[in-house]
Chain A
Amino acid sequence: MGMTATEKILASHAGRDRVEPGEIIEARIDLALANDITAPLALEEFEKAGANSVFDPERVALVLDHFTPNKDIISAENCKIIREFAKKYGIEHFYEGGACGIEHALLPEQGLVVPGDVVVGADSHTCTYGALGAFSTGVGSTDLTYAMVMGSLWFKVPESMKFVCKGKWQPWATGKDLILHIIGMIGVEGARYQAMEFEGEAIEDLSMDSRLSAANMAIEAGAKNGIFRVDRKTLEYLSGRAKREYKVYESDPDARYSKVFEIDASAIGLQVALPFLPSNVKNVEEVRGVSIDQAVIGSCTNGRLEDLEIAAKILQGKKVAKHVRCIIIPATPDIYHTALKRGYFDTYLDAGCIISPPTCGPCLGGHMGVLARGERAVSTTNRNFLGRMGHPESEVCLAGAAVAAASAIKGEIAHPREVV
């Protein structure tokens, strides 16, 4: 019996020839990540445990991206604690200020994650790096402390599900539409505890930005990780970027899957997830005309260059509807700079958009775009839970950048063809 890529990566990091789904193993960690809201608890545990070093200062990343630029005094105090920890223990990959980007856009961009890695992050969207053929999953702060100190962590080997995607994508469709479609199909616990593996010609057609976006939301189906095959595009992305040597793992043809789904990309329109679950998915045509107060284009899901380019194409020469705020958040300093050089900022500013520094801010109702009672946003973020972006009586509709930009112009949920 063959093994899946996920099983092979876990086996190699546990010093084993093979592992079986359901087994509990201790695996070596290639990178451990925390941010400004999960690191404080992890560092408290670190202190309490009397630890006096991290396993490898080059393999710990601390990214101050959530409540930054510091939204209030307590957030500033948290960042200060983390900064002092980073100085004391010589943490190489500490990001704040002008070096800081949204962690799940920043770490792949900086080449800190490579294929075949085992990565844990005290952030549920750590599953993003599966787009690079890594095993990568979210954990809590205590688990992260263990990983930071020991350089390893226990895992239950997940079963794998496979999504085989064929056909050609519709205009404007991206990885966000693929993952929303899948979550709509299998539900928010459809892949609970499992690995989601993506393959097929339609997956090969997706850009790296789209793959990162799709892997990002594997957690929204309950999955432990999402994983993509390493192909020509992955290798091109890694070229000149990867900071470490890497090994590519591929699933065997006779690997075991708990379920295999066939997906026809040409049948997936632009998707919108209505409140209050990411699985409440409709085609944009079914929900067009629903009024909005805010559009957010950004986040670890959709703040990459592909998203900013789509937004610029749609907003070019247009105006954001009166009484609507359109907030654009380039996810990293590099993305920010490139968007500026390409002239996207002129387009956004002429259209009446707000351009935010890289931050997770509004996605989790933190700052930089919080909703009032009764307000509704269309957002390229990943969660539309009750009160996620602000008041418990506000609403979030999830979509890709194309629908968000078109909706900002119309002041209601719209397909881009209505405005371009």
Chain B
Amino acid sequence: MLSGRVWKFGDNIDTDIIIPARYLAYTDPVVLGQHCMEPLAPGFAKDVRKGDIIVAGSNFGCGSSREHAPIAILALGIPVVIAKSFARIFYRNAFNKALALLEADVYDAVAGGETIEVDPATGLIKTARAEVRAKPIPSFMLELISEGGLMNHMRRRLEER
């Protein structure tokens, strides 16, 4: 069970907000993390603490295919993002990078700064006011996570050849 402070972001948080394109020449997670959410919340990267949790509205991660986005979030020590819904490329990228995503409507049930408990494995989310279970993760993606991501899956497949 994870326990972390909540940072709230609204609907349609796009990848240009998560990590602006001008930093995409960098691949160093530390550099990418420093600019996470910069256009919308310039102080975020400085104020966020390891273990904090992002709670967002719908369509989180819409826009570009940049894998720099989940990398930037992970670099800040954020282990999980909870949103009403996720854009599809971001969804794939997050699982490939082992950033846990939970699809649940808890946006209105939590306050920014509140500490909540989350179990990414079962999808259980405990807030001060409610206990919510996130939408189940497709079984193939659970397998990917248990294998340690897509690259491990690939290594295993290559060994089988």
Contact = CB atoms under 8 A, between A and B. Distances in A.
Asked if chains A and B come from one complex, the reply is: yes
Contact of A139 (B21, B38, B71, B89): B89
Nearest to A40: B27
A24 B154 CA distance: 17
Contact of A142 (B20, B151, B155): B151
Contacts of B92: 139-140, 143
A189 B85 contact: yes
Contacts of A71: 25
Contacts of A123: 64-65
B50 interface: no
A122 B65 contact: yes
Given A38-B67, A140-B93, A383-B16, A192 B88 contact: yes
Contact of A385 (B16, B25, B88, B158): B16
B45 to A, nearest CB: 14
Contacts of B88: 192-193, 222, 224
Interface in B17-50: 17, 20-22, 24-27, 38-40
A79 B40 CA distance: 30
B58 A189 contact: yes
Interface string B88-100: 1100110011000
Contacts of B157: 150
B63 interface: yes
A141 B58 contact: no
Interface string B113-154: 000000000000000000000000010100000000111011
B144 to A, nearest CB: 9
B3 interface: no
A222 B88 CA distance: 7
Interface in B30-88: 38-40, 58-59, 62-68, 71, 85, 87-88
B20 A365 contact: yes
A140 B85 contact: no
Contacts of A40: 27
Given A149-B158, A383-B16, A124 B65 contact: yes
A138 interface: yes
A37 B22 CA distance: 10
Contacts of A78: 25
Contact of A387 (B12, B16, B58): B16
A142 B25 CA distance: 17
Contacts of A267: none
Contacts of A383: 14, 16, 63-64
A4 interface: no
Contact of B25 (A37, A154, A189): A37
Given A124-B89, A140-B93, A142-B151, A222 B62 contact: yes
A277 interface: yes
B66 A150 contact: no
B62 A188 contact: yes
Given A41-B67, A146-B150, A192-B85, A24 B140 contact: yes
Contacts of B138: 24, 156
Given A24-B140, A222-B59, A142 B39 contact: no
B21 A365 contact: yes
B64 A387 contact: no
Interface of A: 24, 37-38, 40-41, 44-45, 48-51, 66-67, 71-72, 74-75, 78, 121-124, 126, 138-143, 145-146, 149-150, 154, 156, 188-189, 192-193, 219, 222, 224, 277, 364-366, 383, 385-388, 392
29 contacts: A24-B140, A37-B21, A37-B24, A37-B25, A38-B65, A41-B68, A48-B151, A66-B24, A67-B24, A67-B25, A123-B64, A123-B65, A138-B65, A139-B89, A140-B92, A140-B96, A141-B67, A141-B93, A142-B97, A142-B151, A143-B93, A146-B154, A150-B154, A150-B157, A189-B58, A189-B59, A364-B16, A387-B16, A387-B20
Interface of B: 12, 14, 16-17, 20-22, 24-27, 38-40, 58-59, 62-68, 71, 85, 87-89, 92-93, 96-97, 138, 140, 149-151, 153-155, 157-158
Given A146-B151, A192-B88, 12 more contacts: A41-B67, A48-B151, A72-B25, A124-B64, A140-B67, A142-B93, A143-B96, A189-B58, A189-B62, A189-B85, A219-B89, A383-B63
